[in-house]
Amino acid sequence: MKVIGYRPSNRWVQRPLDWGWWPWLKRCCLGALALAAVLGALVAPRQTTIRIRYQIAQLTSEVERLESEHRTLLLERERLSSPSVLAGQIGDLGLIQVPSGQVAFLGSDGRLQRSPHPTPSPHPTALREAR
């Protein structure tokens, strides 16, 4: 027998969504967060330690460079202020030589004493020629 007539259409019926995957997705996300937290707790201190070691190495090299520069400047200052260099530049600096008879020093007893044997100071040109 053939049924001719009304055939209903189910296009208006929508299938309900399957929410069975939702707990699985939550567990995966929580697992990923837990793994990220554990890795962060293990890796972050190590990265901080390495970063601080690099900073210490850079600062140490900077301190060594500055100490070397300080030593160089001290040597340069001592070289420029040495008596022989200053005696050679006495005329250029506009100074006059003090006669050794006018030079006094402190003795071992703390009294001011004159030099018993005046020593002649070298002429500035003699010092320049000696260099």
Residue 99 lies in a domain: no
Residue 69: pLDDT over 80: yes
Residue 54 lies in a domain: yes
Question: Residue 116's pLDDT is what?
Answer: 64
Q: For 6-15, 39-48, 69-78, 87-96, which range has the lowest pLDDT when averaged over its residues?
A: 6-15
Indicate the number of domains in the chain: 1
Supply the pTM of this predicted model. Answer: 0.47
List Cα–Cα distances, 131 to 40, 65, 88, in angstroms: 68, 32, 10
pLDDT, mean of residues 9-14: 72
Among 103, 96, 97, which residue's Cα sits nearest to residue 118? 103
Per residue in 85-121, pLDDT (tens digit) is 887 888 888 888 778 778 888 888 888 887 666 555 5
In one letter, which amino acid is 12? Answer: W
> Are the C-beta atoms of 119 and 100 separated by less than 8 Å?
yes
| Gap between the terminal Cα atoms of the chain | 135
* Residues spanned by the domain of 60: 50-77
In one letter, which amino acid is 99? Answer: P
Residue 63 lies in a domain: yes
> Measured between alpha carbons, how far is 101 from 103 in angstroms, rounded to an integer?
6
Question: Residue 96's pLDDT is what?
Answer: 80
For 37, list phi and psi in degrees, rounded to 5. -65, -45
Residue 57 lies in a domain: yes
